[in-house]
Structures are given as structure tokens and as C-alpha cells.
Amino acid sequence: MTYQLCIDIGGTFTDCVVSDAAGDVRIFKARSTPGAFERGFLDVLALAAGHYGLDLNGFLGQVERIVHGTTVSTNALVEGKVARAGFIANQGFPDILTLREGPRKRAFEWRLDFPAPFVPPGRTATVGGRIDAHGQEIEPLDEASVAAAIERLRRAGAEAIGVCLMWSIVNGSHERRVAELIRAAWPGVPVTLSHELNPIPREYRRAIATVIDASLHATVGRYVSVLSRALAEHGFKRELLVGNCVGGMMPPAEIIAKPIYSVMSGPTLAPIAARHLTDEADVIVIDMGGTTFDVSAIRGGKLIVTPEAMIGRDMLGIPKVDVRSVGAGGGSIARVDVGGLLRVGPESAGAVPGPACYGSGGVDPTVTDANVVLGIIDPNYFLGGRIRLDPAAAAAAVGRIAKTLGIGLIEAAYAIHTTSNHNMITAIEDITVREGINPRDSYLVSGGGATACHIGEMAEILGIERFMIPRFAAGLSAFGGLISELRWGETATLHTDNRRFAADAVAELLAELRRRGDAFLARAGVPPGERRFEYVYQGRYEYQSWEIEVPFELNGEASPDLARLVEAFHAMHERVYSIKAESDTVEFTTWRVQAVGRNRLKERLADSAWPRQSGPLRPKAKRPVYLHAAGALRPLPVYDGNVIGAGASVDGPAVIEAETFTTLLLAGQRAEVDGQGNYLVDRGGQAGRLGQPQGPAAIG
């Protein structure tokens, strides 16, 4: 027996999804261990090993592949626990990180303090020398100023250095020489060069990505090395693969070399899972963990990749799968502010001490505590009964909110529950309504262990008619990692337009980018027959300030067909901005080749079948659950989600309990189990998407 698995570390739980040689997939969860995440990593592996009747070493000896989605770099950036980066720029350009690029502000964000730069002026130094836009040296590099800059940054306490010089994207010789001088004068200090990391024309985006990457070298390098060593010591014979922010995975040496690509790598796996689970073209993907609520979208069957991802008040600077996060999870803490208003989050009880009901020392009321009080979560069946919750502690914590607000315990618990729902709805509207998209036109895929407790009410408020609760909802990101492919992008700048299209130069550039991508796949051990390449360019109309990304195909040609490039640009521009100008000149600025290594497990899992329902479906129990429409606790049927077969359906109001998640269906909502064990919910009370007749398995 051999196994493949993915581990996703969240703020409260560490998820592990395992596929065995027969294609059977199972999910395991263990408490996360902040400060030493590798402990939680090994804890959840030990749980999986025990399920298969093996010890940890015996299990890891049979594991073919481990993919890891991590938030270590994201947390380090958010908490400011990164290396103190120094920044080297050209003379006359010390304020790139301070001035940024004047991003568009939201209409209602009328009060906005000017944020401090990622690297303060005290750790910024400039050097003499200039390259022009054609790559010609118009002023030699002043090596004496480089030596002075190194000394300045050393005295300022810099622990890593990012170098971003003008037009290094067309001639990187000055940046490379600066790096040589740094390494000679200051051995061991991490150095990131902008033209190697992010070769795009926009100075701020190139510079911010460079210093963020430099600041993460020590954190990510140490974490991945410690984890790889721990796995090897316990019998793992292969190479750990780490999720990246462009929707794939990378070998550890590659992610250590460019650690910025690990930022938000865990959450980017959720839309990959959703794209595998449904063939709907337009999908909203939500994932509620213990600390955060992540939202992403699929449009036209494609993941949305944004070049404007934010970390705090700074751009990340590199393209990444568009995932928005807010502090709304099962561990989000409820409080009453000085104005007497109830607030939920963004502070979280996390894994330690956790919600009050965990009995681990937490006393603050959380969303999970509220759901226990409301009867939605069975305290005796949390994680299939492996963890027993303390309902008295949950009631005591929520009771303090009730006392402060002068309302009953149940009313206070529901206020926490629905306030959390509205926080999450705001995040969904941010990626839909604010982008000109009506959420009612999208299918909703729900991920996260806590989300199914809330999704019914959220769908009602948003007006979304149909949604899915996957069988692996509690580990949606981990499931996405299990089926993800090796993926890496190579980027370069070449400015041309459709009136003077430099076909030969573009062909030469794309061939070089493909060669680099092919080398990456070869280093990762992907056989030639399992490799493929995807192509994207950034373009704009003449005199426009901003580019948009447009995918294209080569179809065996050396150079792309110009007519198809232009046609694709007009179509994408109309999709993004609702207008197109077909008579205008189209400029092409940046080109990217995505190297992709095929994952055959994804194809095998697509063919797996969930057993069909045999005989009538009956509830395993009844318990009182609060229904807002009734204004009180009502006895609801509770169904065992671990044994409901394909084709069965459950009508709300009802509760479906699986080992790793609990679903609350409201009146008028019907859940039907599809052929892979996922719950397809229709708010219209119809038969769902399967179109199968409702037989004895149906519950009226």
C-alpha cells in the first residue's frame, strides 16, 4: 500500500487529507501547535498512521508524496516577525517604497492614514550608476557607493537585503555586481535581486516583492528545513512539496530560493479543490477556519490570478491566486465595544487556548461557543467524538455577552452567530459586488470545518440558490493540495504593439522562458511526457496606465498569432471593464510561461464513486437546535453524514453530522448527495443538480 497526502496548517487545526493506492480518500485533523508547527504536522501524520494500522515511521515509509500548504510566511508578515530588510535603490530613487504607486482607494474609505513603508528610510540606501530603458549603461556602477550602502545597512541592523535598480529587467548587470559586492563584504546575508525575482516594468511592485522576499528567507528557509529534516528522521524517503501562491506546488529548494511564493499558499489551494469538484463556470469559494475566513472565485472555469494582491497596506508585488481573508473563524472572539455594539473578530482564540468549550484555558466567548449553545454543534461528537467539548464553559462565556447586552443566553449566542455570518458576507461581497459581479449568479462551494454551520443563513441573505458542501469541506485546502500540480512561472518584459509587432523577438523570448520552465520541471523530477506549458501576456491600450492579463495559446507555433492575441485582449478588456476599443493600438508589455507538471492522482480521484444509498434514510437522533425563523430551540432530526449514500436527500430544517463538519439546513433547503459524496444544496427545495428521481431514500 502506498499513500499520497497534503497537510494544511491552520490557526486552530492542522488538516491532513490522505489518498491510498485504491483511491480511497480520508481526512484527519489535529490541533495546531503555534511556535512549533512541525509538532502539529507530525501529530496529524500519527493520527493518519494509526488509522491505517501503522506507526508513524512505517506509514511515512510508504508515503509517495507529501504536499504542504503553509501560512508560516503569511503569519510572519502579518505579525511583523520577519527579518529586518534593507533596500538598495538608484541614487535619486530612495522613496519607491514610501510613495508606492497611488493605488485606487475605495469610495467609502474616506479616512486613510498614510502607511509606513515596508522598509523604513533608515534601512534604505542608494547607489550611483544607471541603465536606460534599452539596457544601455549610461553611467557605470559606482562601487564605492555600493560599499557605503552595505556599511549603512549593516549599521542600521539589516538582516537581509533587497536590490531594485532602474531597468534591471532589460540589463541586470548592475544588480548582479551589487550582489557580488554584498556577498564578499557580508557573507551569509540573504540577498534578493529584483530582475531575477519579479522582472516587470513597474518599479514599486518589483521593489516591494524584492524586499518582502528578502525578509522571508530566514523564516521560510528555517521552517522548510526543520520540517524536511523531521520527516526524514521519521522515515519519509521522498522530497516534501510546498504549495505556492500561483495555484501549484514546488520542491523545497525552489520555495527556499524564492520564499515570497509561499505567502498565502494554503488558502490558494481551496479554489483548486473547488474547480475539481464542480463544472460550474462561475463559482464563489469560501473557507472558514479557526482564525480566518478566506474567499476566492472562479470565473469562466478559470482561477482568478491578481497582480494586485495586498499584504496589509502594501502590495505583494507578484501575481497570485486572488484570495481575500478576514478575521472571521470558529475561534473569533466576541466582545461588546464601548458604544454597546457587538463585535466578532478579528481577534481569535486560536489553537491555544482555543474557544472556552475546548476546556484548554480559554475564557473568551467565540463563534464555536455560540454554536454549541445554539445546539448546532454536538459537544459529544466534535471531530467524531474524539474531542469532547464543555457546554457549560461555552454557556458561561456567552453568558457574559448576554449580561452585558441585557438579553438572554440563546439570543446572545445567535447574535454572535449571525454577526459572524455578516462579517463573512461582507468578505464575499468584496470579491463579487465590489468587482461588478452579482453573487446570485454564482455557484457557492463551502469549505472549512465551521462553514457548514453558517452557510444556510448566508445563502439566504445573499440570495444564492445553490451551493455545495464537499465531503472534504473541513479540509478543502488540503484536498486542493492533494490534487494540485507542480507549477512555476517564468516572466520577462518585452514591449511591443500590434502595429510594430516584434514577432521574432517574442518567439525568442517565449522559447527562453519555456526552456527555464522546462528546467524547473526537470529539477522537480517530472517526466517529459507529463509536462505542459501555459502562456499569458500583460497588455493595454495605447496611453492606458494599467495592464490586464490575457492567456493565449501557441498551438505549436514559435510565435503567437497576432490576430488571436489582439482578439483575446479586446475580449478580456470588455470582460474586465465592460468596454472595448477595437480600433485602438494594443501594447504588449510582459510575457509569462507557466510550467506545469501533471498530477495523475487528480484524474484517478475524478473517477472515484461514493456508495449509493441503500434503503430508507433515517435520522440517528433528534436534538434541540435554535432556528431564528421560529425564535426558539426546536427538536431537529440529526443525520449521520458518514453513511448517507449517493442519491439520498435531506430536507431542512435538519442537521447533518459528519466526522469533521456539521451542516445546518434551514427550511426550504434540500441537500442531495452526489456520486462523490458531496452535498448539493438547493434553496428551492427541488431535487438538486443530479436530476435523479427521489425514491425511498428521500426525506420529506
Backbone angles phi, psi at 419, to 5 degrees: -65, -40
Phi-psi sector, 267: left (phi>0), alpha (psi -120 to 50), beta: alpha
CA 255, CA 633: separation in Å to the nearest integer? 51
CA 565, CA 586: separation in Å to the nearest integer? 9
Is pLDDT above 90 for 589?
Answer: yes
User: pLDDT > 90: what percent of the chain?
Assistant: 72
Q: Any idea where the domains of the chain sit in the sequence? A: 80-220, 332-413, 486-598
Answer yes or no: are the C-beta atoms of 557 and 499 closer than 8 Å. no
User: 413-467, pLDDT tens digit by residue?
Assistant: 999 999 999 999 999 998 888 877 889 999 999 998 889 999 999 999 999 999 9
CA 107, CA 514: separation in Å to the nearest integer? 42
Tally Cβ neighbours within 10 Å of residue 631: 11
Mean pLDDT across the stretch 509-513? 96
> What pLDDT, on a 0 to 100 scale, did the predictor assign at position 237?
92
Q: What is the DSSP letter of 610?
A: P
Q: How far apart are the first and last CA of the chain?
A: 43
Q: How many CA atoms lie within 13 A of 13 on its CB side?
A: 28
Burial 257-276 (b: 16+ CB within 10 A, else e): bbbbbbbbbbbbbbbbbbbb
The DSSP H or E segment spanning 224 is helix 203-233
Beta bridge partners of 627: 632
User: 388-413, pLDDT tens digit by residue?
Assistant: 999 999 999 999 999 999 999 999 99
User: 552-585, pLDDT tens digit by residue?
Assistant: 999 888 889 999 999 999 999 998 888 999 999 9
> What pLDDT, on a 0 to 100 scale, did the predictor assign at position 10?
79
Q: Which residues 6+ apart lie within 8 Å of 12 measured at CB?
A: 31, 32, 289, 290, 291, 329, 330, 331, 348, 349, 350, 351, 354
Answer yes or no: are the C-beta atoms of 330 and 450 closer than 8 Å. yes
Smallest CA-to-CA distance from 552 within 574, 526, 570 is with 570
What ranges make up the beta strands (E) of 598-687? Answer: 621-627, 632-640, 649-651, 654-657, 662-665, 670-673, 679-682
Answer yes or no: are the C-beta atoms of 499 and 262 closer than 8 Å. no
User: 224-242, pLDDT tens digit by residue?
Assistant: 999 999 999 999 999 899 9
What ranges make up the beta strands (E) of 337-421? Answer: 342-348
Smallest CA-to-CA distance from 8 within 295, 269, 286, 277 is with 269
> What pLDDT, on a 0 to 100 scale, did the predictor assign at position 556?
82
CA 228, CA 254: separation in Å to the nearest integer? 14
Highest CATH level, class, for 486-598? alpha beta
CA 494, CA 517: separation in Å to the nearest integer? 18
Smallest CA-to-CA distance from 275 within 564, 114, 476 is with 476
What ranges make up the beta strands (E) of 531-629? Answer: 531-541, 548-552, 586-597, 621-627
User: 637-667, pLDDT tens digit by residue?
Assistant: 999 999 999 999 999 999 999 999 999 999 9
Please tell me the total number of residues recorded for the chain in this structure.
700
User: 103-157, pLDDT tens digit by residue?
Assistant: 555 556 666 677 899 999 999 999 999 999 999 999 999 999 999 999 999 999 9
Mean pLDDT of the chain: 91
Smallest CA-to-CA distance from 179 within 84, 93, 88 is with 88
